Every structure is written in structure tokens, then in C-alpha cells.
Structure 1
Amino acid sequence: MRIAVFAPDCPYPPNRGGRADVWRRLLALGQGGHELMLVHLYEPAGPLAPTPQDLAAMDARLPRRFAFPIKRSPWRALKQLAGSPWVPRHAATRVPEGDELRSLDAALDAFAPDLLLLEGPWFGQMVKRTARRLALPYAYRSHNIEHRYMLGQARAAQHWRDRIAWRLACIGLQRYEFDLMRGARLVLDISQEDRAFWAARGVAGRWLPPLPEQAFRDRPQAVLPSDLLFLGNLSTPNNLQGLRWLVAEVLPLLRARRPELCLTVVGSRPSAELVAELQAAPGVRLMADQADVLPWLFGARVLVNPVATGSGVQLKTLDMLMTDAPIVSRAQGLSGLPESFAALLRIAETPAAFADEVWAALHAPADADPARVAARRLFTPAGVNEALQAALAQEAA
């Protein structure tokens, strides 16, 4: 099958949850024998701008790719804000115009896709237009219950400017998500819980499992040791809120028992404010923007996930489950995963309970859990392709 995939931003390097989810699915679909064309935006400058090496790495795996830059100006921002009740702001930024639109149309015509795959709502305008123009169906991949996720980020944001920006992004979003799902041939949910949420509101979806990094790589031969490891994006409000809770409320309880205990934080794009904050915190080691996180992931004695808000599936939990190290998490870490996975994690909500679980995990043997090994089989490229083929076959029947 020839699939044109519309991604909300450049999925490479896959150093954040949303990027990693898209990139790993592209690799899995390619392994399944599908011909792919990726359509994506990119930041033209700054830390999020792809490097020539990033583009070359994508083109080595995806020979068909169309990209255009995100454009910003005060006039465009006002125009997008005025139209946000109908087209949410983040979706309005992903509408090409003029020569870019004509070039994209020509590239899609030459590719002649059988299916359009919309990754989240943000490329919705372009996908709906292309579906009408080419008389094609589209599938909608739900990464989150976006209107709830964005509102949660607004509430978790520390600075008023961030709170306002996240809330502005919510305008018109709930209706927009529903409209995209109702128009889709298939709705493919990242999460079992999200699937139930939409089903209760009349949208029938199917679960398409996300993939861990280990689906495509072997365990690293050399690992980097740590006592406790937090792994995650260091710019989203829910991650920051959870990390600060861990450092301020939990770590002092653990260091009171063992003063030399150290928390290692491995993540991308920390602000200067966060870097200074973590460097000043006793017992915290920051390893920012690591090219490869797997040596850290497999070298930790205990993996911790203190994030308390969000939606969809936290890919950090899935990546952690691919190791044999004990995992201590708040309940949100299980969001969207099968109920049986609750037995694979140590769950705690209060600082004292979290510290107690970490302490017990530090003294538990790090042996391979047969139930954990069995659970990993759900999250493979073959599993993704089988789930997609089953959904397409059921839809065609």
C-alpha cells in the first residue's frame, strides 16, 4: 500500500515523545512493505531546526519526503487567532500557500497514494483538502485527547505566557478533533483509555500500539550507570511539574536515608532556568540533549516516572518496560496501557509512598520478569502492521 503520512512537525531526530512515536511508526510501516511519503513542517532556525545530517538520515529511510517551513509573522498570528474557533491555531500554521501548495499537490499526484495518514489534528486542513481532491480516504492517528491534553499543559505551565499560549491553542480544538475523526475512514488510537473516551462519544476507533526504541535496536553493549533515572522532554509543562515534584519532595526523603544517592536527569531542551535549578539541587545530575539515551536507560538501577498529568500513552513508560530495571511511577504512567501492565510497575502518588517504593526497588533483585518479557511482544513493528491490516480489512468488509 502507498501511504502519504502527514506529521505535525519534523519527526527526526526522534528525541521527544511525539516525534519518536511518528518516526518509529514510519520505520514499522516501511518494514511492513508499505511505500511511504512523508509530509512535514520544520522550524527554519533555532534549536528545533533540522540539521543537514537530520535530513540526510530521514532521506536514507524515506526516499519520498516533502517539507516546508513554519512561517510566523504578527499578521499571520492575528489571522490565525481570529479564525481559531473554526481552525485551531496550531492547525492554521500547517496550511501551505501559493507555490508551496502547488508543489505539494504535484508531489502527491506523482506519488499516487492509496491512503492518507493524519498524525494528530494539526495537519487536518491539508489532509481534508487532499482527500477531497484525490477522492481518497484518510486515517486519523490519535496521539492524545488533544483538547484535554492541551488544557492540562496550560494548567501545569509555570509562567503566565506559557499558560496563555497553551489556552489559546485549545480554542475550537474539541470540535475540530471530532470533525476530523468523523470524516476519517479509520481512527487509530495510541491508547486504550482514549479509545474508550471517544467510543462513549460515538467515535469508533481501533488500538494501534506505539513502539519503543528497542523495537528497532539491540540492547547497548556499554551502559552508563545511575542510581535513579528520569528520562523525558524537559520543556513540556507536565514533565517539568513532575520532575520538580520529584526533586523537591521525593529526593530529600531518599537522601535522608542514603546521602550519596543521585538522581540522573536525561532529557532534551532544558531552559537556562531549569539547568540552573537542577545544578543547584543536591544529588541531581543533568545530562541534557544526549545523542543516545539507551545506555542511560539500561544502566539505571531504578527508573522513575513522576509525571502526574497527560493523555495518550507516555512513551517513557514503554521504553522503561523494555529494560529489566524496576520502575516507580505515578498512576499517570500507566495511562492508555492494558490493565495487566499495572502489575509491572510500582505505583505511588504521595512523596512518602514514592520514596518508599524507590527504596524498596533499590534493594530488589534486577531479574528479568517473565510477565514483563511477554508484555513486550505487543509492541513490535509486526504488531503495528498486523493491527493496521486488520483494521483496514474490517473496514473494507
Structure 2
Amino acid sequence: MDDLIVLPIEVGFAALLRRLLLLPIWPSHVSSRFPSQAIWRTLLPRVERFKPQGIWQDNLWSGATACRLERCLRVPRWVRSHNIEFRYMNRQRQLARGLGERFRLWMTCIGLERYELANLRSARCVFDISMDDLAYWKQRGVSEGKWLPPIVTVPPRNEKVEPTFRLSPGSALYVGNLHTPNNVQGLMWLLTEVWPRVRVLNPTAEVTIAGSNPHPDLISAAASCPGVTIVPNPAEVWPLYWQAKVLINPIKAGSGVNIKTIEMLQVGCHLISTPTGVGGLPQSVKELVHLADTPEAFAQTLDQALRGTLPEARRPPDVAQMCFRPEAIAGLVTTLRQQSAPNQ
């Protein structure tokens, strides 16, 4: 592991002051991940000895570091784009519920659109997680971009292992983090607008909401909804997936692709989602999902799925497995070989 270099994200008053001073140049999330001069003095010689043929920038926030390495080493830089970050972060800021969180996201958004566009335009190639986002960036002047799907690895199912939490038979399930503003918004919509309608149609219906660090507002709302169970910080999610009769994704705001949607598509049961939940995916994959965007439609579709009367999706489920297997990165390997700098 001699070639692994971990760069710390500094915190504290001095780090905050540095980020504020650099706001005219870089967004806050970018400057917080840029190494100090002391670190650069040891970092650059080590990277030079490694003699890379290119720089892989795995997200926007590492952009300043990746660009400096690109200039110093005179090798191509490729970017993995996960979101239209300036849109995503601005939406998170609008949905944030606390003053501290709003301030943090406000700092993140300053100069973000300008920086993001410049960073992607200057890359040798952009590999986008979302087909929709890729089309958007091409309209904004990103000359070379390719769709690179995320890879989902499904662990083997072990019937002998007892799950740490057992779902009620025939229940619905949502899995995802329970604290980011867009997820909280979607789940609050589910609990206040959709779920009461489901219970009118089916008074015994049950749904489990599992994920990390549930927001207090979400816990409070769930406590007042009959048939709703919150499972905070589950150790594993796949044992939960395999117990569910129906999977749901009520997200109403987002960008890139929703990784949880891709995970849920591997399970093989009914998946009900808002259109936002399938954003950026190929049409052949979207056709595996039952889409509903109003409380009435979502409730009716969920009720039918729980009762076993919902028709199957229009395409065979193995379409989802084929799109997100490791073999999907073959095109990436070819492109990197073609664009890499010569061996030094």
C-alpha cells in the first residue's frame, strides 16, 4: 500500500478561514480538499515517482488537486461526474431545515456553477453517471463525454443467516439515508400525502423505512403514522431488501442517478418510484419501474403491489443486472488506453 496517499480534510477555525479566503477562486468543498503546501512538498515527488499516465478525478470536489497534478505531470485528466453539483447543492440548500446546514450549503454553492463548468470543459473526457446529465453538459460545451454506469455488486443470499431486523410479511420497504434534505423531503411527502391514502385503501398495510441517521422531523412524522416502522442505521441492507414484497423510492428532488434505485432493481420485486427516482437511467431500465408522481397515483400503485394485483414491468428484470455489471466498464478501459500519456 505504499502508493496509497490519504489526504486529510482539515477542520477547525483555521480551515474555515482558509475556505472563506479562497471562495473567490474555489467553492468551499473544493478548497477544503486541496492539500496544504507542506503536504504538496511530499505529495508531488511521490506521484512523480509513480509516473502515472493520467489523472482520474473521481468527483468535482477533488478538482483543484487533480488539475494541479495534471499541469505538473502533463498527463490527461479524466472526470467522473456524479451529479450536476451546482443544481443538486442549491436544491439541498433550499430544502435544508437547520440554520447551520443552510449556511454550510450556502458556502458550498458560491461560485459552484462557474467552477463546475470550467472543470468539466477542461477535462480530457467526462464519464457521467447519468445519461440526462451527460446530455446537459454537452449542451454547455463539454466536448467529450461518455455514460459510465455505476456498478452494483449483489452479495450472495444466505438463507441460513438470521436477519437483524425482520420485516412484517408482505410489507413495503424504503432504504436510503434519512437525513439529507432531499431524502427527508421525499419521505415526508410519503408519510403525509401518500401513506394516509394507502391506509384508507388497505388499513393493514405496513412500510419500513430504513437508513442512516434519521432526521428528528422524520422520526416524529413516522411515529404518528400507523403501519410505519423506522429502522435506524441498519448494519446491512440486503437482508432487508430480500424480505420486502414491494420497494419504494419517493424522492422528489435529486440529480445524477439514484443509486438506491439501481440497488432495488437487482432484487426482482415490484419497485414504485417517482420520475425523479429514475432520472438519468436508460429507457430500458426505466421501464422496469412503476412510476407515480402524485399522492393518489403512488398510493393506488402501492396498494395494488401490496395486494398482488399490480401487473409486471414491461421488460425482463435481467435488463437491470446487465446494465450495472462490471462488464459495463469495458468501454471505459478502452477509452483510457487510447487517451493515456505514453509510458515514461
TM-score after normalising by structure 1: 0.78
Structure 1 match to 2:197:
253
In structure 2, the partner of 1:388 is: 332
* Residues 8 and 33, structure 2, Cα contact 8 Å, conserved in 1: no
1:141 to 68, 72, 80: 80
Pair 277,65 (structure 1): closer, same or farther in 2 beyond 3 Å = farther
Counterpart AA for 2:101 = D
Deviates more, 1:94-103 or 1:247-256: 94-103
Alpha-carbon spacing, 1:275–1:110, altered in 2? closer, same or farther (3 Å): farther
Deviation at 1:219, TM superposition (A): 3.4
CA–CA separation in structure 2 for the residues paired with 1:250 and 1:273: 17
Residues 79-228 of structure 1: pairs in structure 2 closer than 5 A: 79-203=18-142, 204-214=144-154, 217-221=155-159, 224-226=166-168, 227-228=171-172
- Residues 47-66 of structure 1: pairs in structure 2 closer than 5 A: 64-66=3-5
C-alpha distance after superposition, 1:276-313 (max 9, x if no partner):
44344322211111121001112111101000111100
Instruction: Choose between structure 1 and 2: higher strand proportion.
Output: 1
Q: Does 1:286 align with 2:230?
A: yes
3-state SS of the aligned residue for 2:126?
A: strand
Match of 2:248 in 1: 304
Out of 217-226 and 245-254, give the one that drifted further: 217-226
Secondary structure at 1:163's aligned position in 2?
helix
In the other structure, the counterpart of 2:292 is 348
SS in 1 for 2:92: helix
Whether the aligned pair in 1 keeps the contact of 2:208 and 2:231 (CA below 8 Å) is yes
Tell me: CA distance 1:369–1:320, structure 2 relative to 1, closer, same or farther (3 Å). farther
Amino acid across the alignment from 1:200: Q
Post-superposition Cα deviations, 1:294-351, rounded to whole Å, max 9, x if no partner, equal 0111211110100011110000110011011101110001100012223211111111
Q: Percent identity?
A: 37
Amino acid of the structure 2 residue aligned with 1:292: E
1:175-228 Cα offsets, whole Å, 9 max, x none, are 1112211221111000000110011112131011112232xx223435643411
Q: Is the CA contact (8 Å cut-off) linking 2:95 and 2:182 kept in structure 1?
A: yes
For residue 394 of structure 1, report the CA deviation from its aligned partner: 5.8
TM-superposed deviation, 1:361: 1.3
How far does residue 241 in structure 1 lie from its aligned partner after superposition?
A: 0.3
CA contact 2:59–2:79 (8 Å) conserved in 1: yes
- Equivalent AA in structure 2 for residue 172 of structure 1: G
Q: Is the 8 A contact 1:225 1:301 kept in 2?
A: no
Provide the secondary structure at the position in 1 that maps to 2:79. Answer: strand
Give the TM-score of the pair, scaled to structure 2.
0.89
Counterpart of 1:266 in 2: which secondary structure?
A: strand
- CA deviation map 1:20-48 (0-9, x unaligned): xxxxxxxxxxxxxxxxxxxxxxxxxxxxx
Distance 1:195 1:155, change over 3 A: same
Task: Check if 1:238 corresponds to 2:165.
Answer: no
Q: Classify the secondary structure of the residue corresponding to 2:333.
A: helix
> Number of aligned pairs?
333
The corresponding residue for 1:377 is 322
Q: Is the 8 A contact 1:302 1:325 kept in 2?
A: yes
Secondary structure in 1 aligned to 2:7? strand
Cα distance in 1 between the residues matched to 2:217 and 2:39: 38
CA distance in 1, matches of 2:303, 2:196: 12
**2:229 match: secondary structure:** strand
CA distance in structure 2 between the partners assigned to 1:209 and 1:196 by the alignment: 15
1:96 aligns to what SS in structure 2? Answer: coil
Partner Cα distance (1:395, 1:277) in 2: 52
Whole-Å Cα distance in 1 between the matches of residues 90 and 284 of structure 2?
29
**Stretch deviating more after TM superposition (337-346 or 159-168):** 159-168
| 1:64 Cα deviation from its structure 2 partner | 4.1
Cα distance in structure 1, aligned partners of 2:33 and 2:234: 29
AA at the equivalent of 2:319: A
Q: Quick one: structure 1 residues 365 and 391, their matched pair in 2 at CA, closer, same or farther if it must change by over 3 Å?
A: farther
AA paired with 2:92? Q
1:375 CA drift (Å) = 3.2
Q: Deviations over 1:242-279 (max 9, x none)?
A: 01111111111112233332211111122455444434
